[in-house]
Amino acid sequence: MKKYKIGILGATGAVGQEMLKVLQEYEIPVSELRPLASARSAGVPVKFNGQDVLIQEATDDSFEGLDFVLGAVEGDMSQRFAPAIKKSGAVYIDNSSAFRLDPDVPLVVPEINGADALENKGIIANPNCCTIIALMAVAGIAKLSPIEKMVVCTYQAVSGAGQNGIRELEQQMSAIAAGEQPVVKTFATQIALNVIPFIDAPYGNDYTKEEMKMQNEGRRIMHAPELKVNCTCVRVPVMRSHSIAITLRTGRKVSVEEAKAAVAAWPGVRLIEDYEGRCYPTPLDTTDQDLVWVGRIRDDLTDEKGLTLWCCGDQIRKGAASNAVQILKYLAERA
């Protein structure tokens, strides 16, 4: 594999920082790293392969000569810089929601639809974190029989709201321990010792945008335009790693034994049947690694063609940074 010139747009955020880490862990051959962020972060050093690399201000001229740009910014900033990235000739792997439903932009989880990335026109979209984790958990089952519908409930860590979400939970827990009133800034209400069953903005049908991503993105990734998903997204007082309960219906009856075998064989997934005496994973088990852990696979008692399972995955890694780096690696290996 040749060496590549790689930019990270949004290098100072939680996902951008994780991208730096994952690039090193995956031993991606990098001839030049260009960390990019706002003007106020310009000149701040970041460590990469044992060296200090200075953050540069992101401008329209920042992408010249790069082979890949990993995006770790919000959708508005992604749309702002995408034309300049395309003009530079770099492939933009974007973690925001800006291009996920654009029919001209592949939406990719490498283990599921990696070949779609080869059809890119300069931009590849990284799916929503919960979409990635959930689809990784059920992809093996879908190969046995197409999934017709899913009922999903997510239990999302505060890391999904970035550094501010992590900081707010830490500060609120400290305040409670000290007998003080927690301050609420990032979330709609106190998240410490609480759960919030509403994530993102309203979609217009009594669901939120976060909840509709599972269906809208899932259809594209699974090449299943008729897939139906009913999703409820809940923020929980967990620092990192999302958990998801999924009940699905397949075209034919898939037995629990078949499902377990398919899940165990799927790349990037770990089947949990007896882990430290448990038949299920937890967020702490799956933090700071890339596998999606799946457990509690059982028959759905309300549908003869249904199965129910529980899965956990690191939101910052497989749900964001690692998936983007894996897309880059997939392309580099086939260049």
C-alpha 254/C-alpha 251 separation (Å) is 9
Q: Residue 29 is encoded by which pair of tokens?
A: 């051959």
Question: Looking at residue 206, what DSSP letter applies?
Answer: S
Strands (E), 14-77: 30-37, 45-48, 51-54, 56-57, 68-71
d(CA 38, CA 73): 11
223 in active site: no
The catalytically annotated residue of 231, 242, 311, 312 is 242
Quote the CA–CA distance of 271 and 273 in Å, as a whole number.
6
> What is the rounded distance in angstroms from the CA atom of residue 149 to the CA atom of residue 306?
9
Query: Closest Cα partner for 48 from 17, 78, 93?
Result: 17
Residue type, 88: S
CA–CA separation, 185 and 191 (whole Å): 10
The 10 Å Cβ neighbour count of residue 252 is 8
Helices (H), ranges, the chain: 14-25, 75-88, 110-113, 129-144, 162-177, 209-221, 256-265, 283-286, 322-333
Q: Do the Cβ atoms of 42 and 12 come closer than 8 Å?
A: no
Place of tokens 């034919």: 252
Q: Positive or negative, the Cα torsion across 189, 194, 199, 205?
A: negative
Query: What amino acid positions are annotated as catalytic residues?
Result: 129, 242
